[in-house]
């Protein structure tokens, strides 16, 4: 699954707009739009914020977190430490 589909799936399951997701993640609406349309991907900081947001949604997004974000979060954590 491309990253844009993951963003779309998060929004669909939570029934929120790009604007609401952008506000939750403290990024711009065009940023969410670029992510969702596979024009760009989040940097490590944004990916960590997104992973935390998805994790905080509990069972509703648990499968997405396990599949796409737990691995990215672990990789980002490893890269942060010398």
List per-residue pLDDT tens for the chain, 82 residues long.
578 999 999 999 999 999 999 999 999 999 999 999 999 988 888 888 999 999 999 999 999 998 888 765 455 444 543 4
pLDDT number for residue 68 = 85
User: How far, in whole angstroms, is CA 17 from its chain's centroid?
Assistant: 14
Cβ neighbours, 10 Å, residue 79? 9
User: Which token pair is 56?
Assistant: 């905080």
* Structural domains of the chain ordered from first start: 3-80 (1.10.260)
pLDDT at residue 77, as a whole number: 44
Of residues 5, 6, 2, 1, the one with CA closest to residue 64: 6
Residue the block writes with tokens 């998805």: 54
CA 69/CA 42 separation, integer angstroms: 12
């Amino acid at each position: 699954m491309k990253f844009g589909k993951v963003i779309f799936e998060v929004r669909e399951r939570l029934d929120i707009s790009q604007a609401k997701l952008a506000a939750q993640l403290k990024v711009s609406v065009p940023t969410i739009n670029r992510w969702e349309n596979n024009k760009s991907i989040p940097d490590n900081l944004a990916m960590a914020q997104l992973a935390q947001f998805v994790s905080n949604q509990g069972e509703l997004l648990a499968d997405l977190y396990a599949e796409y974000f737990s691995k990215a979060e672990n990789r980002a954590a490893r890269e942060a430490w010398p």
